[in-house]
Structure 1
Amino acid sequence: MALVYEYDVFISYRRGGGDAPDWVRNHFHPRLQRLLDDHVDYDVKIFLEDSVPVGGKWLQVIRDVLQRARILIPICSPKYFLDERCLAEWHTMAKREEIVAKEGVAKVGPLIYPVIFSDSENFPGYAHERQMRSFRDWNKPYPQYQNTVEYLDFDRQMTRMVEELVAVIEQVPPWSSEWPVETPSPEPYRPSKLPRF
């Protein structure tokens, strides 16, 4: 295992169901990659689960990559916080923040940069404690979305985000082999607020 960071960003999102995976692949990840590359003087490496090769040991690859990523960008929806893999990714980086804070490393800020994909009302309390960047108004998964006028607003929002991300990435503490990988259990499903007939 390398003794340094390998990835600048780890994009965390719920893989099954919903529009978030397509939105991440079609719009968020490609635009993030290009904008970050335009804003820094080094080659930016972003991890997306699609990078795991066929036949690779998926869980072990994810654990290794997560430990060697500088920051986490979770794509948040209510079901994100019920997914075991997503929780492991979030809590792993939150634990790293705790460790770094205890060590008193100067100028170290958050290592989690949450993005709201949909419905933030149903996020757990620990998620509400963090400032998040909302993309609810631009969460269209379809490839042709790039050809709309509204996409220009999405691009402006992405540019603002990347300007903040560059500063976040620059303040990341030195890599440590001692950082743990957390595996918490999801909270139980909450009952629906809709009336039953």
Structure 2
Amino acid sequence: MYEYHVFISYQRSSPTVPVWVRNHFYPRLRELMDDLVDYDVKIFLDDQVPVGGEWPELAREALRRARILIPVCSPKYFNDEWCMAEWRSMEKREALVGTGTREWPGRLIYPVIFSDSKNFPEFAHQRRMRSLKTWNLPYPHYQNTAEYIDFHREMERVVEELVEIISQVPEWCSEWPVEEAAPVLPKPSKLPRF
């Protein structure tokens, strides 16, 4: 059965994206969803994996048990093996349930733009995305600015759409596909070989 309503996918090695997700996107998403629905909202964020936990396996299982995927898109997101495995997994699930059909017109991937959508690959441009790049400042004190109210209002619109999408997600299937990320090979040494 489903365990999570949302799985947040983002490029973890970025100096700004993870900070923004933790400082702004995740907390606003969680509190606004909690205010809007009558169930306990469960959102998977990779920092919930306990120290010593088997991160790849726990993340794959969380993805299998998540209703929808929210990719936080930046140009490097689409070069990250883990991010692409998460995207492709949910894309395959959409294909299995026939997304965009009369029987089920919904979708399971809800992409948000963190930065620079011009350099996204063609397959990403085929999806409508919600741009949040106007509010992509990662700093905690950004919450104390007048502009942050606009971010909050935009997140309210995001949450209203997400709640509608979540309500239409098909029944859970134990066979939902989960793609594997290719192993990361060590970079070649820059030192000369003797």
TM-score by length of 2: 0.90
AA of the residue aligned to 2:65: R
Residues 36-75 of structure 1 aligned to structure 2 (within 5 Å): 36-75=33-72
Q: What's the RMSD between the two structures over aligned residues?
A: 1.4
Percent identity (aligned): 64
Note the alpha carbon deviations across 1:47-74, whole angstroms, 9 max, x for none: 0000000000110001100000000000
Corresponding position: 1:13 with 2:10: yes
Corresponding position: 1:123 with 2:120: yes
Residues 1-197 of structure 1 aligned to structure 2 (within 5 Å): 4-101=1-98, 106-183=103-180
AA of the residue aligned to 2:178: V
- Secondary structure in 2 matching 1:9: strand
- Secondary structure in 1 matching 2:98: helix
Q: Distance in 2 between matches of 1:165 and 1:8?
A: 9
* Contact 2:82/2:181 (8 A) holds in 1: no
* Contact 2:98/2:104 (8 A) holds in 1: no
- Secondary structure in 2 matching 1:179: coil
* Contact 1:15/1:21 (8 A) holds in 2: yes
How far did 1:161 drift? 0.6
* Contact 1:91/1:183 (8 A) holds in 2: no
- Secondary structure in 2 matching 1:56: coil
How far did 1:17 drift? 2.3
Deviates more, 1:136-145 or 1:93-102: 93-102
* Contact 1:105/1:173 (8 A) holds in 2: no
Gaps of 5+ in 1: 186-197
Note the alpha carbon deviations across 1:166-197, whole angstroms, 9 max, x for none: 10000000000111112366xxxxxxxxxxxx
AA of the residue aligned to 1:32: L
Q: Distance in 1 between matches of 2:105 and 2:90?
A: 13
AA of the residue aligned to 2:154: Q
How far did 1:108 drift? 4.7
Q: Distance in 1 between matches of 2:63 and 2:102?
A: 21
Gaps of 5+ in 2: 183-194
TM-score by length of 1: 0.89
How far did 1:25 drift? 0.1
How far did 1:34 drift? 0.3
